């Protein structure tokens, strides 16, 4: 069983939660925890590149997400139904190394981790 | 360059504005860490700036080593190589000298 | 190895409850807290959706203090009212906790 699953369910522009989830994953990976990131509900927008962030107080998280592989986090899990509900396709995601999960896979992912951090 | 000529720094000695960076500023920041920059240092500094441009964050040690490995090969992509150039804290010092923010989760 | 879920938003205002019930697994538990307890006022299709999760083997609870401060009482036989110490017990009994907020 892996150590920590960070479930990130908020949009990158709604506040600091999305960034905090990513920072938690980076911190965990830095300290050798087996840690995973699951984007769900409004969180799936984090993997889509914005048209521009000059007008925003928040950075382009989709660029940040690409760094995970260098931290030893090989894939970003995406809740497939959340994508579908928003009319998004996997090929519209700008972050690489994503794994789409259906309902059963998502439940299994949760069971496969010791702890969940909810963002 | 004297102390007063350096652009504004935060409490840890990192540039507050990335746009203030120049090779001269880097040389002075390095001198404060008792490092004299040569082409081996510049190669890493340029690479970490590319990293920042690509991911919009400063790397901790391990991702820095991996990134160097990917771009400059296995010989340079080792902690010991970076340690020789940027002792005693490669990840912190490369970011500082390259004008990037302090890496998170790096002590 | 089960998971305890909490929902703290009213289903009349947010999708949190449904996001949760769509993913909750048999053997998991759900505690309705804060405005989450307004779920007890659900009717029709939405009520059926929550009842369905219960039928699939999820236990659903509502935090008594949050019910009382909102002037609600537990009118659902399927949803057990719990106090704070029972909530703590549930947290200990489950492997992990997912908060839907």
What pLDDT score does A25 carry?
Answer: 97
> Residue B59 pLDDT > 80, yes or no?
yes
Q: What is the mean pLDDT of residues C68-82?
A: 93
Please check whether residue A20 touches C, CB under 8 A: no
The closest of C79, C73, C78, C71 to C32, measured between CA atoms, is C79
Give a yes or no: residue B40 inside a domain: yes
3-class secondary structure, A5 = strand
Per-domain residue ranges of chain C: 3-100
Tens of pLDDT, residue by residue over C30-58, are: 999 999 999 999 999 999 999 999 999 99
**Cβ contact (<8 Å) for B59 and A26?**
no
Q: Do you know the residue count of chain C? A: 101
Give a yes or no: residue B102 inside a domain: no
The terminus-to-terminus CA distance of chain B in angstroms comes to: 29
Residue B61 structure tokens: 């040690």
The verdict on whether B106 is a catalytic residue reads yes
Residue of B nearest to A95 (CA): B55
Contacts with A107 from chain C: Cβ below 8 Å:
23, 25
Residue of A nearest to C7 (CA): A118
CB contacts under 8 A, A 84-103 vs C, are: 103
- Name the CATH topology of C3-100: Hypothetical Protein Ychn; Chain: A, (3.40.1260)
Contacts with A106 from chain C: Cβ below 8 Å:
23
If one counts the domains in chain B, the total is: 1
3-state helix, strand, coil in chain B (%, to 5): 55, 0, 40
Instruction: Look up the domain containing B87 and give its range.
Output: 3-97
Whether chains A and C touch (3+ CB pairs under 8 A) is answered by yes
Residue of A nearest to C26 (CA): A107
What pLDDT score does A59 carry?
Answer: 80
Q: What is the mean pLDDT of residues B51-59?
A: 95
**Domains defined along chain A, listed by start:** 2-118 (3.40.1260.10)
The closest of C26, C13, C10, C12 to C60, measured between CA atoms, is C26
Choosing from B3, B42, B106, B107, the catalytic residue is B106
The terminus-to-terminus CA distance of chain A in angstroms comes to: 21
Give a yes or no: residue B103 inside a domain: no
Please name the residue that has the structure tokens 């991911």.
Answer: B55
């Amino acid at each position: 069983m892996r150590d920590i699953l960070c479930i990130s369910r908020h949009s990158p522009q709604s506040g600091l939660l999305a960034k905090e989830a990513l920072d938690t994953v980076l911190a965990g990976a830095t300290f050798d925890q087996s840690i995973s990131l699951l984007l769900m509900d409004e969180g799936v927008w984090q993997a889509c590149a914005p048209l521009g962030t000059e007008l925003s107080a928040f950075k382009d998280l989709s660029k940040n997400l690409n760094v995970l592989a260098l931290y030893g986090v090989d894939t970003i899990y995406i809740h497939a139904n959340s994508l579908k509900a928003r009319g998004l396709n996997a090929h519209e995601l700008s972050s690489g190394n994503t794994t789409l999960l259906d309902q059963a896979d998502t439940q299994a992912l949760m069971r496969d981790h010791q702890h969940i951090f909810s963002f | 360059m004297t102390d007063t000529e350096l652009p504004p720094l935060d409490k840890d000695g990192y540039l507050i504005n990335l746009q203030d960076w120049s090779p001269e500023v880097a040389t002075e920041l390095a001198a404060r860490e008792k490092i004299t920059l040569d082409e081996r240092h510049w190669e890493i500094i340029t690479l970490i700036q590319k990293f920042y441009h690509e991911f919009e964050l400063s790397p901790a040690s391990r991702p820095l080593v991996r990134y160097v490995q990917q771009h400059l090969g296995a010989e340079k992509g080792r902690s010991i190589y970076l340690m020789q150039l940027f002792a005693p804290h490669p990840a912190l010092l490369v970011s500082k000298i390259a004008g990037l923010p302090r890496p998170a989760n790096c002590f | 190895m089960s998971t305890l879920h909490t929902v703290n938003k009213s289903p009349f205002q947010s999708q949190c409850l449904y996001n949760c019930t769509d993913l909750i697994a048999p053997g998991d538990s759900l505690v309705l807290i804060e405005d989450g307890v307004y779920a007890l006022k659900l009717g029709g299709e939405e009520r059926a959706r929550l009842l369905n999760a219960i039928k699939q083997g999820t236990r659903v609870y509502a935090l008594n203090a949050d019910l009382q401060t909102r002037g609600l009482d537990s009118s659902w036989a399927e949803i057990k009212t719990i106090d704070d110490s029972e909530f703590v017990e549930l947290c200990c009994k489950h492997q992990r906790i997912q908060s839907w907020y």
